[in-house]
Amino acid sequence: MQEIKIERTKTPKAKPADQTRLGFGKIFTDHMYIMEYTEGQGWHDPRIEPYHPIVLEPSAMVFHYAQEMFEGLKAYHTQDGRVLLFRPDKNIQRAENTCRRLCIPPVPQEDFHNALETLISVEKDWIPTQPGTSLYIRPFIIATDASLGVHPSHSYLFIIILSPSGAYYPGGLDPVKIWIEDDYVRAVRGGIGEAKAGGNYAASLKAQMKGEAEGYAQVLWLDGVERKYIEEVGSMNIFFKIAGKVITPKLNGSILPGVTRATCLELCRAWGMEVEERRISVDELVEAAKTGALEECWGSGTAAVISPVGALRYGDTVMDIAGGGIGPVSQKLYDTVTGIQTGRLEDSFGWTVEVK
Ligand code: COI
């Protein structure tokens, strides 16, 4: 593992005075982590520096061919003053998988761990303490070769920035309305849908604008081939409770393998609920809504945590769910996940990692 050089800022910024108005990903802390990759030398020179703009050639490959990956995780303050990360090993493993898909040299896992823990430890005073807040952690890698040929870059930057954040959706745990998109698609099997790549999110914007114009918070994607099977929402995975069973689309190569998705599955199974990971068609969903079998729907994601869905719209069909309120499983998952993350509940799964 490489030693990280630390240069502390001489001009620390004021911390946000009102933690109820943080928003998501708008404020950044005093320091950032940065490490470089050079072909022949590997990843080198890890350091923590005052947060600053980065200078790149206009020809840097990331700007032209989107060779970029990112991750998202959070650090939490516990009531007894400890700092916890939630399942960082899962993000680090997923980052490695994404890198391999995008021909980016993966950051050695122990350097990734050390980067997270050291940066969080330097910035721990930035972790907000109000309920529903956390320090959002955004690691990312960009291709920096100054070259317009389409091929994997020979140089990269790995950077981690931190943002004290509140709820992803302005309404917090209030149920969101979701638009089921049947025209645009996000990803196809064999593409990069299961990778955490910025390009997937660029591909989602057009439909998100369409949904927003109709008053919907996010888009639920259908598969890119038949446009029939449910995949995921723009910033989260999706779950349904139908006739007592918890159902989520099976990972198929075009769906992001969410850490909170895995957590929901493990919790529901531990609670003895019947859980299915399988293909679910939009027609099955519409039918379940019609007969009253669609009892609950929620999204899961690091940023969104557990986000109850109050209504789904598919064409002209509007499906109201759980009376537009928060269903009991969504609420129990939210309470349990946030309880473990913030140390209020015992972590019998060993999911949290303390940062000293
Ligand atoms: C996360 O949940 O951390 C994500 O990466 C979703 C993001 C696009 C807000």
Dump pLDDT digits (tens) for 32-66. 999 999 999 999 999 999 999 999 999 999 999 99
By most ligand atoms within 8 Å of CB, the mutation choice from 208, 233, 302, 337 for ligand 1 is 302
On the question of pLDDT at 5 being above 90, the answer is yes
pLDDT for position 234: 82
**Distance separating alpha carbons of residues 85 and 77, to the nearest angstrom:** 9
pLDDT of 217: 92
Q: Is the pLDDT of residue 169 over 90?
A: no
Per-residue pLDDT for 173 more than 90? no
H-run or E-run covering 43:
strand 42-50
Pocket lined around ligand 1, Cβ cut-off 6 Å: 72, 201, 235, 301-303
308 burial via Cβ count (<10 Å: 0-12, 13-18, 19+): buried
Count of beta carbons in the 10 Å neighbourhood of residue 192: 19
CA of residue 235 to ligand 1 center, whole Å:
5
Please tell me whether residue 193 adopts helix, strand or coil conformation: coil
Q: Where are the alpha helices (DSSP H) in the chain?
A: 61-65, 88-101, 109-122, 198-213, 259-270, 282-291, 328-341
Q: Can you tell me which residue has the tokens 């930035």?
A: 126
Nearest to residue 263, comparing CAs of 324, 192, 340? 340
Is the confidence at residue 172, as pLDDT, over 90?
A: no
Number of Cβ within a 10 Å radius of residue 245: 14
Please say if the pLDDT value at position 87 is more than 90: yes
299 Cα to the center of ligand 1, angstroms:
12
Cα→Cα distances 233→14, 255, 256, 278, Å: 35, 10, 10, 16
> What are the phi and psi torsion angles at 214 (to 5°)?
-95, 5
Strand bridging mode 230-233 / 218-222: antiparallel
Residue 304 alpha carbon, nearest atom of ligand 1: 2
Nearest C-alpha to atom 5 of ligand 1 is from which residue? Answer: 72
Claim: this prediction has a pTM higher than 0.75: yes
Q: What is the mean pLDDT of residues 251-276?
A: 97
CA 179/CA 218 separation, integer angstroms? 6
- pLDDT over 90 (residue 170): no
- Spacing, Cα 279 to ligand 1 middle (Å): 23
pLDDT digits (tens, 9 = 90+) for 307-320: 999 999 999 999 99
